[in-house]
Amino acid sequence: MSHVSVAVTVDIVIFALRDNDLQVLLVKRKYPPYQGLWAIPGGYVQANESLEDAAARELREETGISVENPANGAAHPGATVPYIEQLYTFGDPGRDPRGRVITVAYFALVPAPLAIQAGSDASDAEWKPVRSLPRMAFDHAQIVRYALKRLRYKLEYSAVGFQLLPPVFTLSELQRAYETILGETLDKRNFRRRILQAQVIEETGQYQAGEGRPAMLYRFREDAVAEVKARRLFP
């Protein structure tokens, strides 16, 4: 039986709400293969590191962003990602022209677009709208689409969407965020009734000034149950 050399990489999909749109952080490849095309941050796993450490290292090297609570406990100054989880393993034999490469993908959420900088393996780094992705390297467009599907799914069952929001927000801002992620318009009355029934947010006692009546500011309840019990909380 012949044995094939297999390499392992990690790739990280980072979502943020920006300009009333859901955007993803991409880097432009500096070297072949796919030189000049956009890709999600990532790279090879080194022999002496875990998958989580590799993801944190590649993210820092390619974008200047650090994981808030890295597995190895080595915090770094600067912009941080507060939420990251393992997404899926992609292993199509032809996904990388360099050989047999399996990638473990992660997806991360940030409450606002972070300050980014292109690293040693990237010539540029930018936020791009998810609904109009540029031509991408490898199978990275597929990975982004899968991450979006996972985000939408989790939005129905958990409070994960709050990771994309600032510490305090109005109900209107919350609804716009969920509409942007889901790609559909939600009924205002039903949305507010369901989100309040879920008991995952609480009033701050403060108001946001603006045109018309000041709007109550809410925050996510730290003691709230993460998993929402109702199927399709935001129909």
Q: For the chain, what are the domain ranges? A: 7-156, 158-220
The SS3 assignment for 161 reads helix
- How buried is residue 5: exposed, middle or buried, by Cβ count under 10 Å (0-12/13-18/19+)? exposed
What are the pLDDT digits (tens) for 44-76?
999 999 999 999 898 888 877 888 765 555 544
- In whole angstroms, what is the distance from residue 144 CA to residue 148 CA? 6
Q: What's the CATH code, domain 7-156?
A: 3.90.79.10
Angle in degrees, CA 83, 39, 58, rounded to 5: 50
| Among candidate residues 26, 44, 45, 23, the one with its CA nearest the CA of residue 36 | 26
- φ, ψ of residue 56 in degrees (nearest 5): -65, -40
Question: What's residue 11's pLDDT?
Answer: 96
Three-class SS state of 119:
coil
Beta bridge partners of 104: 10, 89
- Assigned fold of 158-220: Arc Repressor Mutant, subunit A (1.10.10)
The pTM for the full model equals: 0.87
Task: Determine the pLDDT at residue 133.
Answer: 96
For tokens 């859901």, name the residue. Answer: 22
Q: What is the pLDDT of residue 113?
A: 64
CA atoms within 13 Å, Cβ hemisphere of 174? 29
Q: What is the DSSP letter of 138?
A: T
Q: Which residue has the tokens 């991450």?
A: 147
Query: Phi, psi at residue 208, to the nearest 5°?
Result: -100, 120
Which letter does DSSP use for residue 133 in this model?
Answer: -
Q: What is the pLDDT of residue 230?
A: 41
Written as tens digits, the pLDDT of the chain (235 aa) is 667 899 999 999 999 998 889 999 999 998 999 999 999 999 999 999 999 999 989 888 887 788 876 555 554 455 677 788 999 999 999 999 999 999 999 998 888 766 666 655 666 888 999 999 999 999 999 999 999 999 998 887 777 888 888 889 999 999 999 999 999 999 999 999 988 888 889 999 999 987 778 999 999 887 766 555 444 555 4
Strand locations in 19-121 (E) = 21-29, 38-39, 42-44, 66-67, 80-81, 83-90, 101-109
